[in-house]
Structure 1
Amino acid sequence: MFASHDFSPNKRPGTEKPRIIREIKTEHEEINRLYSVCCQSDQEVWTSSNDHIMRHFNLQGELVKSIKTKSGNKPKDIAITKKGYLAYTDYIVQTLNIVKEKQIQEIKLRKWRPHGVCTTSSGDLLVIMDSDNNRESKVVRYCSSKGKEKQSVQFDTNGLPLYSPGGIKYINENRNEDICVSICWASAVVVVSRVGKFRFSYNGPSTTATRSFNPYGITTDSQGRILTADCNNHSIHILDQDGQFIRYIDNCNICCPYGLCVDTNDNLFVAEWKSGKMKLIQNYVF
């Protein structure tokens, strides 16, 4: 179920160019599509797609476990909590869910529909969501153990909305605790500080691209770099933590990248939407 390319996951980025070191065929192909990926460990990942089953794979491409959503709806996004539990968002029934052993803890969002979810360094969960009427968007921080809301980020210091409603959104926390949100329809990555103060917005580099910049999955690495999937242009954009463009990953035969995650060795997992393949990339910055 996988193709190995001289696999050496502990090798740090150096002078070599980005390269695929592993390619895994998942069960998310053709109809289902592959949306999200998150690391359970450096050796195992969870995936989600257009069906209601979240699948847990090892790096040999073997299915370790699968979990169905409580509602039977497809999950909008997935994440792993600080304690190792699987968390997912359900856009239809408006819930954030945490799978604990055989029970699913359900946090009702009430009149808000969740998109992306991520775990923070403090163990909280961040969720980017839209209002029922699709006129507002905000980030909410939840205590993962109690499910209580701790923080809401919606407006800048001038009272203007930080996030555009509608469309697909992903979220991730950087090592400096910045909150990074990708907004596909707005062609933007919006970054705020831990307390919700606007830092910068990235709308793609001023270089030529074959199609408009529409960011999907977003992740960060141990050096504070921000990586976001540009599905339309079959590439991944890499920024520094202050929003300066570093480079593309566009030389690894990536097709329709969607979900992203980085392991503890800064190896990059890329979920390809159309093929259903998961690719592991090494040396993405040199």
Structure 2
Amino acid sequence: MLTACVTSNLEKQYSIRCWNQQHIAIRGDDCHVPIMDIDGNIVRTITTDTENGPSDVVILDEQNIIYIKYYSKHIVFVKNMETTQELKTVTTTDWYPIQLCVSRPSYILVCVCFQEYHDSKDQGRKVLQYTSTGELIREIRYHFNRPLFIAENINSDIIVNDYYSVKTKYLVKAVSSREYLRFIYDGSVEFGFASTVGPGGLDCDTLGHIIIADHYNNNIHIINKDGGFVRFLLNENHYVDKLWGMCFDGVDSIWITELESKKYKQFRYMTVEG
């Protein structure tokens, strides 16, 4: 059910994160990331040390954030939003950081690539895990081709939207905390209209569902923690155009961004019974 449709002032809307229950942060294409309410009012602005905007931003709490400076290969840990005090800047040497997410217990997962992300000759991809203060814990090299979006499920599976170059399509992969491949979801469901999963936002809800924003088909796939298809969330009556960013609000709804329309929307999909 559509519960909010709001207009921002951003020319591009690449990703969306929940700041708290009333406010969301949207990443565009400049160094300022606005925090907006359900009425479209900017209540706060995150200023990043980037020229064309961070590649990704995650929110630890209302005072602490982490963002990516893609071209300088930096992951910036900001401790205090009021003074934008940089707690630590991690340089990933030869690796370009792409996207990140918060995992349990307060760890950070980061997708990185050895060369620039759109270089088709690059075969070096992995996921790094850091503490919330920037200490590297481990790296996971297996099972990934070109991971873009990343999330962690309640069973500690690492979920990525991964580019599969052989058939020029994206696959959603789940890798366990012990680093073995649990399942692959390609969007091919016999009773739906999607034949492949387009690159879009990725998140998990409190029931262990994996929520996938499908840019190709302008829809949301919901699958269970074992990769089984549950349902599509949207239909043609929802009028979603160029779906891109998506996040779960921690309660019962998701927020999505449309890439170019300046619209961001909230859909409630969970009931009390789940």
What is aligned with 1:70?
49
1:28 is the counterpart of 2:10: yes
Q: Which amino acid aligns with 1:54?
A: V
Give the Cα–Cα distance (whole angstroms) in 1 for the partners of residues 262 and 46 of structure 2: 18
Give the Cα–Cα distance (whole angstroms) in 1 for the partners of residues 189 and 73 of structure 2: 38
Q: Which amino acid aligns with 2:9?
A: E
Q: Secondary structure at the match of 1:215?
A: coil
1:38 is the counterpart of 2:21: no
Q: Secondary structure at the match of 2:104?
A: coil
1:139 is the counterpart of 2:108: no
What is aligned with 2:266?
280
1:268 is the counterpart of 2:254: yes
- Judge conservation of contact 2:188–2:195 (CA < 8 Å) in 1: no
Q: Deviations over 1:58-101 (max 9, x none)?
A: 22211012123213232111211257522111221111112222
Q: Which amino acid aligns with 1:247?
A: R
Q: Which amino acid aligns with 1:236?
A: I
- Judge conservation of contact 1:249–1:284 (CA < 8 Å) in 2: no
Give the Cα–Cα distance (whole angstroms) in 2 for the partners of residues 148 and 88 of structure 1: 15
| CA shift in 2, pair 1:55/1:246, >3 Å | same
Give the Cα–Cα distance (whole angstroms) in 2 for the partners of residues 283 and 173 of structure 1: 20
1:151 is the counterpart of 2:138: yes
| CA shift in 2, pair 1:219/1:123, >3 Å | same
What is aligned with 2:107?
124
Cα displacement (A) at 1:212: 4.1
Give the Cα–Cα distance (whole angstroms) in 1 for the partners of residues 229 and 7 of structure 2: 31
Give the Cα–Cα distance (whole angstroms) in 2 for the partners of residues 107 and 256 of structure 1: 33
- Judge conservation of contact 1:164–1:186 (CA < 8 Å) in 2: no
Cα displacement (A) at 1:211: 6.7
What is aligned with 1:199?
182
Alpha-carbon RMSD: 2.0
Q: Deviations over 1:204-232 (max 9, x none)?
A: 12336377431311001010000111111
Matching of residues 207-286 of structure 1 within 5 Å: 207=190, 209=193, 212-251=196-235, 252-283=238-269
| CA shift in 2, pair 1:189/1:211, >3 Å | closer
Structure 1 unaligned regions, length at least 5: 1-18, 156-161
1:163 is the counterpart of 2:147: no
TM-score (norm 1): 0.83
Give the Cα–Cα distance (whole angstroms) in 2 for the partners of residues 72 and 89 of structure 1: 12
Q: Secondary structure at the match of 2:93?
A: coil
Q: Which amino acid aligns with 1:248?
A: F
Cα displacement (A) at 1:180: 0.6
Give the Cα–Cα distance (whole angstroms) in 2 for the partners of residues 199 and 170 of structure 1: 17
| CA shift in 2, pair 1:88/1:221, >3 Å | same
Q: Deviations over 1:22-44 (max 9, x none)?
A: 11211213xxx101111111111
- Judge conservation of contact 1:73–1:92 (CA < 8 Å) in 2: no
- Judge conservation of contact 1:271–1:279 (CA < 8 Å) in 2: yes
TM-score (norm 2): 0.87
- Judge conservation of contact 1:141–1:152 (CA < 8 Å) in 2: yes
- How many residue pairs match? The answer is 256
Moved more, 249-258 or 213-222: 249-258
Structure 2 unaligned regions, length at least 5: 117-121
Structure number with higher relative contact order (C-alpha < 8 Å, ≥ 6 residues apart): 1
Q: Which amino acid aligns with 1:142?
A: Y
